[in-house]
Amino acid sequence: MTDTILDTSISDETLMDRFKDGDETAFVELYNRYRRRVYAYCIRMINSQDQADDLFQEVFIRVARKRHRFLAGSFSAWLFAIARNLCLNAIRDRVSHVALEDVADSLQTAADEAEYDQSLEILKEAIDHLPADLREPLVLRVYSGLSYQEIADLTEAKLATVKVRIFRAKQRLHEMLAPYFMDRV
Amino acid sequence: MTTEELIVGHFEKSLTLEEERALQERLAQSPETRTMYDQYRSLEATLGNDASAVAPSSRLDEATVAAALSLLPQAIGGGLLGLLSSKVVVGLTVAVIGGISIAIFANRNSSNNGATVAPPAPAVRVVPATPSAQPPVVAPPAEERASSGTQTPENAQPVSAAATPKSEESATVKGAPNRTGAQAVGVKPARKPDGTMTIDTKNAPVIDNGTQVKPNK
């Protein structure tokens, strides 16, 4: 059993260099560092477990396949750019336009019947119904832990725009979920 | 700044000290502001719970690591060895068939009543690649494949075309190094108790190519 314990202070970029040289443990370390964040991005952007699983797997297959194309810069930015590219292409093929009012109505009905442990399901539905331009920065911020600046770089948006979009996303979620949260406060 | 902006900014930890003070004042003065604050707090808590709960399954972990690492050439030079082996087999096949052809042609000419004939021109034939020219494939036991959570190309399901950028390569890895036969010495991802992945280089599953490996569900 290969059980090499890598120094956690080793940078992602150094690990990537090692991986390019054939060090499989370096890949596993990178995978462990990012698996949750990338998966969270995929599943909250797509809201379909099967499709998110496929996309998630494809992200890391591409990391392996295109490893020699990573030359400089932030590994995190490169990784999320791959994930983003895949997810946006998948979303582009989905046609789902639901009026916010309809969503709020359906969530209200669900909330009326919901128990506390169903709050996550309701939240997932609400996030899925956010417009993509609001959902993405929210997911990158909350689920993937990226900074405002990293989100701005990744999405090629201005820093102020990212902040406004995250605010708007939370505002929309609040609008949709307020009836539900009203019972809990 | 609106009250809502102050509340969201508070939970984003992006407010200045002055803005924090302004929010505290509004919270102290307005029950509506307090209600809105509490709702946002619930929202933030739910988002945080969800974010901490989301993770790939262990089977997806294993399948993903196995599929990704199957794209690496082996340290023993598996890819190069495989390439050389196939070329050697093709070369030998051509030589053997060509030699047999020359022998048959020579025998026909030598049976011409003992008459002296000109030496035959070298028989040059185009020998198509035969199935025997392919490198041998050693399949692992069926139970090993089943237990490793991997799939063979026959039943593997590549990512849908919708999820693949048209400008990039297909999700089905073309020309990916095959981990068959001598190349089956690879890595086997495993999970540690803390949920992180590690790899086993001794008891590796065979990944027939670099296509996606579906976890068993």
What would the DSSP string read from start to end of A3-61?
Answer: -----TTS-HHHHHHHHHTT-HHHHHHHHHHHHHHHHHHHHHHH--HHHHHHHHHHHHH
Q: Compare all CA atoms of chain B with the CA of A182 and give the residue at the minimum distance.
A: B39
In a domain, B214, yes or no: no
Q: What percent of chain A has pLDDT over 70?
A: 81
Nearest to B47 among A32, A60, A142 (CB): A142
Q: Residue B38: left if φ>0, alpha if ψ -120 to 50, beta else—which one? A: alpha
DSSP state of B182: G
The pLDDT value recorded for residue B97 is 66
Q: In this structure, how many other beta carbons lie within 10 angstroms of the beta carbon of residue B133?
A: 17
The verdict on B74 and B164 lying in the same domain is yes
* Residues in B touching A39 (Cβ below 8 Å): 54-56, 60
Q: What is the pTM of this model?
A: 0.62
**Quick check: A96 pLDDT over 70?**
no
Indicate whether B99 and B10 sit together in one domain: no
Tell if the CB–CB gap between B163 and A86 is shorter than 8 Å.
Answer: yes
> Hey, what's the torsion of the CAs at A125, A151, B45, A88, to 10 degrees?
10
pLDDT tens figures, A1-52: 344 556 678 999 999 999 999 999 999 999 999 999 999 999 999 888 999 9
B136 in the same domain as B70: yes
Distance from the B4 Cα atom to the nearest Cα atom in chain A, whole angstroms: 8
Whether B91 and B186 share a structural domain? yes
Q: Domain limits at B37?
A: 3-53
Q: Which pLDDT belongs to residue A106?
A: 53
Q: What 3-state class would DSSP assign to B44? A: helix
Question: In Å, how far is A31's CA from the nearest CA of chain B?
Answer: 8
Q: What's the mean pLDDT in A142-169?
A: 94
Q: Which of A8, A16, A28, A63 to mutate to test the interface with B (most CBs of B within 10 A)?
A: A28
Mean pLDDT (whole number) for A125-138: 92
Is it the case that residue A97 has pLDDT exceeding 50?
Answer: no
- CA A174, CA A112: separation in Å to the nearest integer? 16
More confident residue, B88 or A82: A82
Which residues, given as ranges, of chain B have pLDDT below 70? 74-190, 193-195, 199-217
Q: Phi/psi of residue B171, each to 5°?
A: -65, -25
Same domain, yes or no: B184 and B89: yes
Collapsed DSSP state (helix, strand, coil) of residue B56? coil
- Residues of chain B positioned with their CB less than 8 A from the CB of A163: 14
What stretches of B54-177 show up as alpha helix (H) in DSSP? 58-69, 78-110, 142-148
Residue A180 is predicted with a pLDDT of 76
What pLDDT score does B124 carry?
Answer: 45
Find the residue in B nearest to A54 (Cα).
B159
Task: Name the range with the highest mean pLDDT among A120-129, A158-167, B201-210.
Answer: A158-167
Mutation site for B-interface testing, chosen from A58, A86, A118, A173 by largest number of B Cβ within 10 Å: A58
How many Cβ pairs closer than 8 A exist between chain A and B?
A: 162
Statement to judge: residues B123 and B66 lie in one domain: yes
**B208: in domain:** no
CATH of A12-92, one of 1.10.1740.10, 3.50.50.60, 1.10.1060.10, 1.20.120.140: 1.10.1740.10
The confidence band for A131, taking pLDDT boundaries of 50, 70 and 90, is very high
Same domain, B109 and B20: no
**What is the structure's pLDDT at A5?**
57
Q: Which is higher by pLDDT, B90 or A151?
A: A151
Q: Is the pLDDT of residue A155 over 90?
A: yes
Let me know if residue B184 belongs to a domain: yes
A125 or B147, which is more confident: A125
Based on the domain organization, do B18 and B96 belong to the same domain? no
C-alpha torsion angle, residues B212, A43, B51, A97 (rounded to 10): 170
B101 plus B48 within the same structural domain: no
A174 pLDDT band (50/70/90 cuts)? very high
Residue B49 vs residues A117, A139, A142, B8, B52: alpha-carbon distances, Å: 11, 13, 10, 18, 5
Band the pLDDT of A182: cuts 50, 70, 90.
low
Interchain CB distance below 8 Å, A43 and B54 = yes
Give yes or no for B12 touching A (CB within 8 A).
Answer: yes
Per CATH, which fold does A100-182 belong to? Arc Repressor Mutant, subunit A (1.10.10)
Distance CA A31, CA B66 (A): 12
* Number of domains into which chain B is organized: 2
